[in-house]
């Protein structure tokens, strides 16, 4: 009997979710496909990014082009009916981690740590709509995980955190790291003594992340301004969109600060294709997030050959390594000031650490991610027959 993999990508529309889905499927070869058929349900824009292959069937529905409510109705009505009629040996994969139906075997994926970390979600406000959204997602994801045949984790930190919330033993579930796009690979950036940088040609520090509560741009900039006052010539280049309530606070914080424009260039949201140019024109990278699962942006920066001043919150040390010399607490202005100063004053360490980080980044391959994921999904189809519902 033929085997089938069904992927519910109905909620995947942009960002890292699309990147993972596309890389997962586009890196499958005849040698690694295993399944006779792979059916992918999503909107037309997401499906258009997936390469056409004889084993891939792209499926959509008008409701998948609309908002969350329509997608939910599609799942409850059309998708449920479709799964009920499935007769081949099948496994369902839900990368969003929120499948609520009775079909089994289904495999979930853990990607969003804001759902599980109350301290981080509280940064939006304990009574905020965002806090409520994350609690609701935790309820649905916990239910999906407990009812699943397995979960794919993408970091040790995520696995250790999430398993504490579940009612069943899923310790055997795998950790399958995401890959990194090789277009970001550059030679390690030559580092000069901080005294060599001038106001006209400052040390360019890049930070790619949306301006939002757990990315800590306000604290970062305050600490940087304190250091700038001492005569250090550097520039923070911020790239990314913004969460409106926090961005409003951000603007209010710095609208009357004369040093803001001297220290910061805010480039806003840019197309993914443009990001590699920012890596190429930067001297160093800074990452101030306190809530990640597998931080793709950090891995890209590691591969780009830039030295990195990084948040000391997990899972960042899991990927950069415990011996990385440049960590700081993004929630503490004094820590930003002291560690940015140390980073700028140690050019040899900057260059040496960039070489080590680049070597670590080479371990992350989309081809390997795809191979391991397909093998795990196929393993589950061999272990379980379809349970009727």
Residue 389 inside a domain? The answer is: no
The Cα diameter of the chain in Å comes to 72
Same domain, 251 and 376: no
- How high is the pLDDT of residue 340? 99
Same domain, 346 and 369: no
- How high is the pLDDT of residue 388? 52
**Domains held by the chain: number:** 2
Residue 321 inside a domain? The answer is: yes
Alpha carbon 60 to chain centroid, angstroms:
25
- How high is the pLDDT of residue 379? 92
Those residues whose C-beta lies under 8 Å from the C-beta of residue 323, and which sit 6 or more positions away, are none
> Phi-psi category of 97—alpha, beta or left, where left has phi over 0 and alpha has psi -120 to 50?
left
Same domain, 141 and 165: yes
Residue 325 inside a domain? The answer is: yes
Instruction: Provide the residue range defining the domain that includes 152.
Output: 3-179+365-383
- How high is the pLDDT of residue 85? 86
Same domain, 258 and 330: yes
| pTM: predicted TM-score of the whole model, two decimal places | 0.93
Same domain, 269 and 295: yes
Q: Token pair 């960042």 is at which residue?
A: 316
Same domain, 340 and 377: no
Interval 170-179: pLDDT, tens: 999 999 999 9
Same domain, 205 and 134: no
Q: What stretch of H or E contains 342? A: helix 333-345
Same domain, 26 and 52: yes
- How high is the pLDDT of residue 14? 80
Q: How far apart are CA 155 and CA 316, in angstroms?
A: 10
Residue 311 inside a domain? The answer is: yes
| Cis peptide preceding 282, ω within 30 of 0 | no
Q: Are strands 56-59 and 89-94 parallel, antiparallel or unpaired?
A: unpaired
Same domain, 237 and 89: no
- How high is the pLDDT of residue 1? 74
Q: How far apart are CA 152 and CA 51, in angstroms?
A: 23
From first to last of its 389 residues, what are the pLDDT tens digits of the chain?
A: 789 999 999 998 887 889 999 999 999 998 889 999 999 999 999 999 999 999 999 999 999 999 889 999 999 999 999 998 886 789 999 999 999 998 989 999 999 999 999 999 999 999 999 999 999 999 999 999 999 999 999 999 999 999 999 999 999 999 999 999 999 999 999 999 999 999 999 999 999 999 999 999 999 999 999 999 999 999 999 999 999 999 999 999 998 899 999 999 999 999 888 999 999 999 999 999 999 999 999 999 999 999 999 999 999 999 999 999 999 999 999 999 999 999 999 999 999 999 999 999 999 999 999 999 999 999 998 555 555 55
Interval 187-245: pLDDT, tens: 999 999 999 999 999 999 999 999 999 999 999 999 999 999 999 999 999 999 999 99
Question: Mapped to the 3 state alphabet, what secondary structure does 19-42 carry?
Answer: HHHHHHHHCCCCCCCCCCEEEEEC
Assign residue 304 the CATH number of its domain: 3.40.50.2000
Those residues whose C-beta lies under 8 Å from the C-beta of residue 2, and which sit 6 or more positions away, are 36, 37, 88, 89
Up-side HSE of residue 181: CA atoms within 13 Å toward CB?
14
Residue 388 inside a domain? The answer is: no
> Phi-psi category of 216—alpha, beta or left, where left has phi over 0 and alpha has psi -120 to 50?
left
Q: How far apart are CA 308 and CA 73, in angstroms?
A: 45
* Residue count of the chain: 389
Same domain, 370 and 337: no
- Cβ density class 155-188: b for 16+ within 10 Å, e for less: bebbbebbbeeeeeebeebeebbbbbbeebbeeb
Same domain, 154 and 256: no
Same domain, 40 and 130: yes
């Amino acid at each position: 009997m033929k085997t089938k993999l069904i992927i519910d990508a109905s909620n995947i529309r942009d960002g890292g979710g699309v990147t993972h889905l596309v890389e997962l499927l586009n890196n499958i070869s005849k040698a690694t496909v295993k399944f006779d058929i792979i059916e992918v349900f999503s909107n037309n824009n997401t499906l258009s990014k997936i390469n056409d292959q004889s084993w891939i069937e792209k499926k959509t529905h008008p409701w998948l082009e609309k908002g969350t409510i329509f997608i939910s109705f599609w799942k409850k009505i059309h998708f449920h009916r479709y799964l009920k009629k499935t007769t081949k040996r099948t496994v369902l994969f839900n990368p969003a981690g929120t499948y609520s139906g009775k079909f089994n075997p289904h495999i979930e994926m853990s990607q969003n740590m804001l759902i599980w970390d109350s301290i981080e979600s509280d940064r939006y406000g304990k009574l905020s709509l965002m806090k409520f959204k994350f609690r609701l997602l935790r309820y649905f994801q916990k239910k999906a995980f407990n009812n699943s045949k397995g979960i794919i984790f993408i970091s040790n930190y995520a696995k250790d955190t999430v398993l504490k919330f579940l009612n069943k033993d899923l310790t055997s579930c795998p950790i399958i790291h995401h890959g990194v796009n090789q277009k970001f690979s550059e030679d390690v950036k030559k580092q000069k003594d901080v005294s060599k940088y001038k106001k006209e040609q400052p040390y360019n520090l890049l930070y790619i992340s949306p301006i939002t509560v757990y990315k800590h741009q306000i604290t970062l900039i305050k600490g940087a301004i304190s250091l700038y006052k001492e005569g250090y010539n550097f520039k923070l280049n911020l790239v990314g969109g913004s969460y409106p309530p926090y961005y409003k606070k951000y603007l209010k914080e710095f609208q009357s600060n004369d040093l803001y424009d001297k220290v910061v260039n805010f480039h806003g949201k840019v197309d993914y294709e443009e990001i590699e140019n920012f890596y190429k024109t930067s001297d160093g990278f800074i990452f101030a997030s306190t809530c990640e699962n597998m931080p793709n942006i950090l891995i890209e920066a590691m591969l780009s050959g830039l030295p990195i001043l990084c948040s000391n919150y997990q899972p960042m040390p899991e990927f950069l390594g415990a011996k990385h010399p440049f960590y700081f607490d993004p929630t503490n202005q004094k820590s930003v000031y002291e560690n940015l100063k140390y980073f700028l004053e140690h050019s040899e360490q900057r260059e040496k650490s960039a070489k080590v980080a680049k070597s670590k980044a080479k371990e992350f391959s989309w081809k390997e991610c795809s191979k391991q994921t397909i093998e795990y999904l196929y393993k589950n189809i061999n272990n379980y027959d379809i349970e009727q519902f």
